[in-house]
Amino acid sequence: MRGFRMDLETTTRKFGDLVERAANVLRALAAQSPLQRGGAGALFGDGKA
- Are 47 and 41 a contacting pair, CB within 8 Å? yes
- Are 29 and 44 a contacting pair, CB within 8 Å? no
Q: 38 lies in a domain? A: yes
Full residue range of the structural domain in which residue 38 is found: 18-49
Q: 48 lies in a domain? A: yes
The b/e string for 8-36 (b: 16+ C-beta within 10 A; e otherwise) is eeeeeeeeeeeeeeeeeeebeebeeeeee
Q: 9 lies in a domain? A: no
**How does pLDDT run across 13-22, given as a tens digit for each residue?**
999 999 999 9
List per-residue pLDDT tens for the chain, 49 residues long.
677 888 989 999 999 999 999 999 998 888 887 655 555 555 565 555 4
pLDDT number for residue 4: 80
Q: 11 lies in a domain? A: no
Q: 4 lies in a domain? A: no
- Are 42 and 49 a contacting pair, CB within 8 Å? yes
Give the total number of structural domains in the chain.
1
Q: 6 lies in a domain? A: no
pLDDT number for residue 31: 82
Q: 36 lies in a domain? A: yes
Q: 12 lies in a domain? A: no
